[in-house]
């Protein structure tokens, strides 16, 4: 490129000349161009000044008009309204001279600072012409129904258009109202934007009040200070480390990042924690309970199973006090983003040596994320290729080995540790339980017979796998054939490196995925929707209405729709399957749909198994019940397949040969080997996915996702550690300084809550005068007290007489503690008796002790306390409707093993002491039979076992039960309380007072 040419300027050309418009100096070469633009700018400026003056006149004219209107508003009369004289009143507007602002006034704050004179005010009343400059705006107000009379057209410059005239706003010294203070508003803003729960809000407010009172202090100033403090806290724990692993594929090594918290280092953190030390259990146990005259073995914690016993028996004999340190490992992918494109693969560890309330809890000592595995991408070009599938298995096992490296070494030599009881033990780490979706579940059986639970096949062992792999390395074709026959792949299993950790023994039945989100929640529920859909929209609507009206119960999810909804949460599917079963009983009848009726029979057997398997304590009796019910389910499934095959183009499933239909075949073996199913359930581990997703969505920028999430999780883990120390210290201080029980008083096993305003007995009758159950409330209560108080240890010297002015206190909540028949521990029910609980009536049912040997179901109507003049005690009573009327034997109840009860007339309701309530009960009203209820026995294991005993009692001695009921003293008192006429007692809907 040639060099730029240089120019020589003359003296004349370099001398600047003034512009005749703005008088600024410019070179001769550019002054012509500048003058053109200067003229244009000068014209525009004049137009803007003119427009601004007009705008100020308009504003001033509007203000003057408002003042004039306000001054004469008392004289304004609508032309159509006549005055007192009968003539229309007229208003003569004041002359413009009187409305003007007077002499020329300067408008402070105006864009140009010009003065406003009388002519300007007059001009403001005329629509200006020539104001439509390119940078101006015109706003015309609506002339009809306007809130401003004679609203003038507004002209504004571009700079002022859309701007608010803040000077016209009235001052507001407390704009945060209705909050009591600006601080309250700021706190509410933070709480709402952060989405804080009620518990978190209460905790923060409690801290703020403690700071105000001087009992607490916060030195943190900002987020950086908080992060620094958290980083100091996590220094007490084993950190995550990032590694890279390599796996060969197509002749080259493919590397993947992996984040690991070494498993044994995490175990040492637990061992060195003084608050956990007393809770470790080291030795295997075989536990028994006395069942009448014989002792029956039961299974609960992992150390009560046979596998722990066998492992401890195989530990080196030269090591004194050799015991297993047992790990429970869970690994499963989870979606981090709402659209599912970002996934994580966390590994969660739990210590099986700790009791279940700690191990499955959410505090320190519970589950901990110890690894973040790589996810091999699903490539369309490699889909279903054997080599790529094997490659993914290799990556998984290589990554897992990094986690188990130290554990594998110590499983051979042991680790000497002085325990809380001052005994030095050799700890040998083992992988006792593998939960959920691990990569190698080993079993071998014909795929075409997976549905048949009557057949048993030998499970593949580690030894068989190792022999087949050795053959594969020697001769690939023969090895592939052998591995294929075993259903295995040519990959070394990482768990072989850990002694006494055979993967086929550690692999465990997992109900959340296999049942609630699998066989029942996915397959059977979909079949139910197809069957109902085939019947038509009316049946679908009826099913949804039944489910929507299903009685509420604490811990049971509620659903308003069934047909067009799906859940990935197995817990939701568990609850939905249970409710749909009861709701469909009067929809899928044997006449309406034979295949639907058979499907319900299969679901009934499934629910029996699901509840049995979920028991927290198992005996040989319950294990026998599971094995028997598996054969029942097999028969119902066979009958269902047979009916489906007779139909055409229904979409129903006749091929049930998939793994989840077979897996529960081995559940009794797992229970005998490793204790109750809750020891290897994925439910507590799945709950840990939630905080990981929140960390990604709320506190991650999408880069280095694993590193950011694990740092947040590490901070959370450190908080748990410190909280554990605080709780331990508080417990120690409480133990040594306060030996009194500070809990609210219980009446036996119950405690009333949600108190209402006190009322007189007459007031109760008047408030409920439209309800027959409250007729003669005072008189019936008086009869009950005199008849029953002596039987409860309160002798009477004279007849108790109640007055209408006597006071009672109503309560709408009842907490019931009861001894569970499953694990013999205290369980809790929360019962409601309220005309409006969350906007709808709720009157729960309960199981009561009717006599020393008999129980009965009742429905709560009214709970209250009262004082009796003859005694100093406060008595707690409940008005209830007994569900003791006789019911006939129905085929439906026999086919589906239902427990049916029937209510007596509401007018025959009785009083009972609150302490006679054993536990709450969920009863489903039978839509086909008024006043009859079906006991929902699948709410928990305790109710399930109680109903089994209830049914056995009814079958054994129905006649004896009927005879005993006629002479029962408590029943006599119930008859004494009833205020029914002879016609009411003969009503077939009332029934007799028989109860079980």
**CA 996 – CA 856 distance, rounded (Å):** 6
DSSP 342-390: SEE-EEEEEETTS-HHHHTSSSTTS-EEEEE-------GGGTT-HHHHH
Please state the pTM of the whole predicted model: 0.78
Predicted confidence (pLDDT) per residue in 505-534, tens digit: 998 988 888 888 888 888 899 999 999 999
Average pLDDT, the chain: 82
Burial of 946 (0-12, 13-18, 19+ CB in 10 A): buried
> E strand or H helix at 194, and its extent?
helix 182-194
- Dihedral angle of Cα 73, 79, 80, 85, to the nearest 10 degrees: 80
Six-digit token string for 380: 């369309």
547 sits in which H/E element: helix 537-548
Q: What is the pLDDT of residues 393-436, one digit of tens each?
A: 899 999 999 999 999 999 999 999 999 889 999 999 999 999 86
Q: Whole-angstrom Cα distance, residue 198 to residue 191? A: 10
| 8 A C-beta contact, residue 506 and residue 308 | no
Q: What is the pLDDT of residue 109?
A: 43
Q: Which of 416, 319, 303 is nearest to 352 (CA)?
A: 303
In this predicted structure, what is the pLDDT of residue 13?
Answer: 53
- In terms of average pLDDT, the best of 301-310, 685-694, 767-776 is 301-310
Q: How far is CA 513 from CA 450, 571, 682, 934, in A?
A: 17, 10, 8, 29
Q: Which residues contact 155 (CB under 8 A, 6 or more apart)?
A: 51, 54, 55, 58, 128, 131, 136, 137, 138, 139
Distance CA 554, CA 830 (A): 7
Per-residue confidence (pLDDT) for residue 174, from 0 to 100: 86
Residue 64 is inside which H or E element, if any? helix 28-72
pLDDT score recorded for residue 143: 60
Confidence tier at 917 by pLDDT (50, 70, 90): very high
pLDDT digits (tens, 9 = 90+) for 839-889: 899 999 999 998 888 899 999 999 999 998 878 888 999 999 999 998 888
Residue bearing tokens 């602002």: 101
Greater pLDDT, 145 or 612? 612
What is the pLDDT, as a whole number, of residue 76? 39
**Confidence grade of residue 354 (pLDDT, cut at 50, 70, 90):** very high
For residue 868, the model assigns a pLDDT of 86
Contact call for residues 327 and 263 (beta carbons, < 8 A): yes
Q: Residue 438 region, left (φ>0) first, then alpha (ψ -120 to 50), else beta?
A: beta
Residue 292 pLDDT = 80
Backbone angles phi, psi at 937, to 5 degrees: -85, -5
Cα separation, 473 vs 81, whole angstroms: 110
User: What residues contact 544, with CB distance under 8 A and at least 6 apart?
Assistant: 560, 561, 562, 563
Q: How far is CA 846 from the centre of its chain?
A: 26
On whether the CB atoms of residues 641 and 656 are closer than 8 A, the answer is: yes
Q: Give every CB contact of residue 637 below 8 A, 6+ residues apart in sequence.
A: 451, 602, 656, 661
Would you call 80 exposed, middle or buried from its count of C-beta atoms within 10 A (0-12, 13-18, 19+)? exposed
From the centroid of its chain, how far is CA 922?
A: 21
Taking Cα atoms as reference points, which of 571, 469, 457, 564 lies closest to residue 513? 571
- In DSSP notation, 650-690 reads --------SGGGTGGGGHHHHHHHH-SGGGS-SHHHHTTHH
Chain-centroid distance, C-alpha 956: 43
Average pLDDT over residues 744-754: 75
Q: Encode pLDDT of 628-655 as tens digits.
A: 999 999 999 999 999 998 888 788 888 8
What secondary structure does DSSP assign to 480-538, as a single string?
HHHHHHHT--S---GGGGSTT--HHHHB---HIIIIIIIIIIIIIHHHHHHHHHHH-HH
**Could you report the per-residue pLDDT of 527-552, keeping only the tens digit for each?**
999 999 999 999 999 999 999 999 99
Q: How far apart are CA 935 and CA 23, in angstroms?
A: 100
Residue with tokens 């009685």, as numbered in its chain? 551
Whether the link from the prior residue into 787 is cis, omega within 30° of 0, is no
The dihedral of CA 614, 620, 622, 626: what is its sign? positive
DSSP 821: T
Percentage of the chain beyond pLDDT 90 is 48
Please enumerate in sequence order all residues whose Cβ is within 8 A of that of 447, keeping only pairs 6 or more positions apart, or say none: 657
What whole-number distance in Å separates Cα of residue 233 and Cα of residue 499?
35
Lowest pLDDT segment from 75-79, 323-327, 354-358, 934-938: 75-79
* Residue ranges of E strands in 726-770: 750-755, 759-760
Domains of the chain: which residue ranges? 28-168, 241-440+491-508+688-730, 512-679, 750-985
The C-alpha R_g of the chain, in whole angstroms, comes to 41
Q: Is the pLDDT of residue 900 over 90?
A: yes
Identify which has the larger pLDDT, 21 or 535: 535
CA dist., res. 175 & res. 949, Å (int)? 66
Greatest pairwise CA separation for the chain in angstroms = 135
Provide mean pLDDT across the span 796-804.
Answer: 89
Instruction: Return the H-helix or E-strand segment holding 46.
Output: helix 28-72
Residue bearing the bigger pLDDT, 16 or 747: 16
Determine the straight-line distance between the first and last CA of the chain, rounded to whole angstroms. Answer: 110
């Amino acid at each position: 490129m040639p060099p730029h040419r240089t120019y020589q300027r003359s003296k004349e050309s370099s001398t600047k000349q003034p512009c005749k418009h703005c008088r600024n100096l410019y070179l001769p070469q550019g002054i012509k161009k500048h003058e053109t633009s200067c003229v244009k700018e000068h014209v525009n400026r004049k137009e803007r000044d003119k427009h601004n003056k007009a705008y100020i006149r308009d504003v001033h004219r509007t203000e003057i008009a408002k003042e004039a209107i306000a001054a004469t508003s008392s004289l304004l009369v609508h032309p159509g309204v006549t005055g007192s004289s009968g003539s229309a009143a007229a208003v003569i507007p004041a002359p413009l001279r009187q409305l003007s602002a007077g002499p020329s006034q300067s408008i402070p704050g105006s864009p140009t600072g010009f003065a406003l004179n009388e002519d300007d005010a007059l001009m403001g009343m005329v629509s200006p012409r020539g104001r439509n400059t390119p940078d101006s705006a015109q706003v015309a107000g609506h002339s009809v129904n306007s809130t401003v009379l004679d609203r003038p057209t507004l002209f504004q410059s571009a700079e002022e258009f859309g701007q608010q005239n803040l000077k016209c706003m009235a001052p507001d010294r407390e704009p945060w109202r209705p909050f009591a203070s600006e601080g309250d508003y700021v706190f509410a803003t933070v709480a709402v934007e952060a989405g804080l729960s009620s518990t978190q809000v209460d905790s923060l407010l409690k801290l703020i009040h403690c700071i105000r009172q001087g009992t607490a202090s916060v030195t943190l100033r900002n987020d950086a200070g908080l992060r620094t403090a958290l980083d100091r806290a996590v220094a007490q724990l084993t950190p995550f480390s990032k590694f890279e692993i390599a796996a060969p594929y197509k002749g080259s090594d493919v590397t993947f990042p992996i984040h690991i918290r070494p498993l044994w280092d995490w175990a040492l953190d637990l061992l060195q924690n003084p608050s956990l030390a007393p809770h470790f259990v080291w030795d295997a146990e075989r536990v028994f309970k006395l069942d009448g005259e014989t002792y029956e073995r039961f299974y609960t914690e992992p150390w009560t199973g046979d596998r722990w016993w066998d492992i401890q028996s195989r530990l080196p004999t030269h090591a004194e006090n050799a015991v297993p340190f047992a790990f429970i490992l869970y690994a499963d992918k989870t979606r981090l983003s709402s659209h599912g494109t970002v996934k994580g693969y966390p590994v969660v560890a739990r210590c099986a040596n700790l009791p279940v309330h700690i191990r499955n809890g959410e505090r320190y000592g519970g589950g901990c994320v110890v690894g973040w595995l790589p996810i091999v991408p699903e490539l369309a070009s490699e889909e279903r290729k054997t080599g790529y599938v094997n490659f993914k298995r290799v990556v998984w096992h290589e990554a897992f080995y990094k986690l188990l490296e130290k554990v594998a070494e110590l499983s051979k030599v042991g680790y000497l540790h002085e325990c809380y009881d001052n005994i030095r033990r050799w700890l040998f780490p083992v992988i006792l339980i593998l939960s959920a979706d691990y990569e190698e579940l080993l079993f071998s059986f014909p795929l075409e017979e997976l549905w048949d639970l009557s057949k048993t096949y030998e499970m593949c062992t580690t030894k068989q796998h190792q022999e087949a792999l050795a053959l594969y390395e020697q001769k690939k074709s023969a090895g592939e054939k052998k591995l294929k026959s075993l259903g295995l792949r040519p990959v070394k299993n990482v768990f072989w490196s850990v002694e006494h950790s055979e993967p086929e023994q550690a692999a465990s039945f997992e109900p959340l995925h296999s049942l609630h989100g699998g066989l029942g929640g996915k397959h059977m529920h979909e079949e139910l929707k197809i069957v109902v859909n085939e019947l038509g929209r009316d049946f679908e609507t009826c099913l949804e209405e039944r489910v929507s009206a299903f009685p509420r119960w604490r811990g049971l999810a509620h659903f308003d729709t069934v047909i067009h909804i799906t859940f990935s949460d197995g817990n939701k599917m568990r609850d939905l399957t249970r409710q749909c079963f009861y709701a469909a009983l009067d929809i899928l009848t044997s006449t309406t749909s034979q295949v639907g009726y058979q499907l319900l029979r299969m679901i009934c057997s499934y629910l029996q198994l699901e509840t049995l398997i979920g028991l927290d304590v198992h005996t040989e009796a319950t294990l026998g019940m599971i094995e028997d019910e598996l054969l029942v389910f097999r028969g119902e499934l066979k009958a269902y397949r047979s009916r489906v095959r007779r139909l055409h183009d229904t979409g129903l499933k006749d091929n049930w040969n998939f793994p989840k239909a077979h897996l529960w075949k081995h559940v009794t073996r797992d229970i005998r080997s490793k204790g109750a199913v809750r020891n290897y359930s994925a439910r507590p581990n799945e709950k840990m996915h939630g905080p990981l997703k929140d960390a990604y969505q709320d506190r991650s920028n999408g880069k280095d996702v694993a590193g950011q999430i694990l740092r947040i999780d590490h901070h959370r883990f450190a908080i748990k550690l410190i909280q554990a120390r605080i709780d331990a210290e508080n417990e120690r201080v409480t133990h040594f300084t306060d030996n009194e029980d500070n809990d609210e008083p219980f009446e036996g096993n119950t405690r009333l809550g949600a108190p209402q305003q006190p009322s007189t007995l007459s007031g109760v009758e008047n408030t409920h005068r439209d309800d027959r159950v409250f007729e003669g409330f005072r008189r019936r209560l008086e009869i009950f007290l005199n008849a029953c108080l002596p039987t409860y240890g309160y002798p009477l010297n004279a007849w108790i007489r109640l007055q209408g002015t006597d006071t009672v206190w109503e309560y709408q909540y009842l907490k019931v503690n009861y001894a569970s028949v499953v694990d013999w521990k205290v369980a809790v029910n929360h019962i409601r008796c309220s005309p409006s609980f969350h906007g709808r009536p709720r009157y729960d049912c309960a199981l009561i002790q009717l006599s020393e040997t008999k129980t009965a179901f009742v429905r709560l109507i009214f709970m209250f306390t009262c004082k009796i003049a003859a005694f100093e005690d406060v008595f707690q009573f409940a008005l209830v409707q007994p569900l003791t009327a006789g019911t006939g034997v129905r085929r439906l109840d026999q086919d589906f093993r239902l427990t049916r009860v029937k209510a007596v007339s509401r007018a025959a309701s009785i009083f009972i002491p609150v302490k006679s309530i054993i536990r709450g009960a969920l009863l489903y009203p039978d839509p086909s039979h008024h006043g009859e209820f079906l006991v929902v026995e699948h709410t928990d294991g305790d109710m399930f076992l109680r109903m089994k005993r209830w049914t056995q009692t009814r079958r054994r001695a129905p006649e004896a039960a009927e005879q005993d009921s006629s002479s029962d003293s408590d029943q006599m008192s119930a008859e004494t309380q009833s205020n029914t006429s002879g016609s009411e007692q003969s009503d077939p809907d009332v029934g007799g007072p028989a109860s079980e």
